[in-house]
Amino acid sequence: MKCSLCKSGETKPGKTTVTLQRGDSVVVIRAVPAEICDDCGKYFLDEVPARRVYGVAEQACARQVEVEILRYAA
């Protein structure tokens, strides 16, 4: 699909690293399936992976984890 950020690149399926911050917690999730723009590098998550990574971030915040690095498990 066309990138909605730069409007010139095309997005392609791939894997990306998502970093999220919730309060004082930082969560890094590797190998998240995403559509990635070949021009500006912006990634777009599908609904399911997006919900999962946000859920993980909420849990880390609830446990008051400072930094957590995870691998996305399909």
Q: Quick one: 21 exposed, middle or buried, by C-beta within 10 A (0-12, 13-18, 19+)?
A: exposed
CB 48 → Zn ion: shortest distance, Å? 22
| Contact call for residue 37 and Zn ion (CB under 5 A) | yes
| Contact call for residue 50 and Zn ion (CB under 5 A) | no
| Contact call for residue 40 and Zn ion (CB under 5 A) | yes
By beta-carbon proximity to Zn ion, the closer residue of 10 and 24 is 10
Name the nearest CA neighbour of 72 among 39, 57, 63: 57
CB 43 → Zn ion: shortest distance, Å? 10
What is the rounded distance in angstroms from the CA atom of residue 52 to the CA atom of residue 34?
A: 13
Q: 23 — phi, psi (to 5°)?
A: 60, -125
Question: Where along the sequence are the contacts to Zn ion (CB under 5 A)?
Answer: 3, 5-6, 9, 37, 39-40, 42
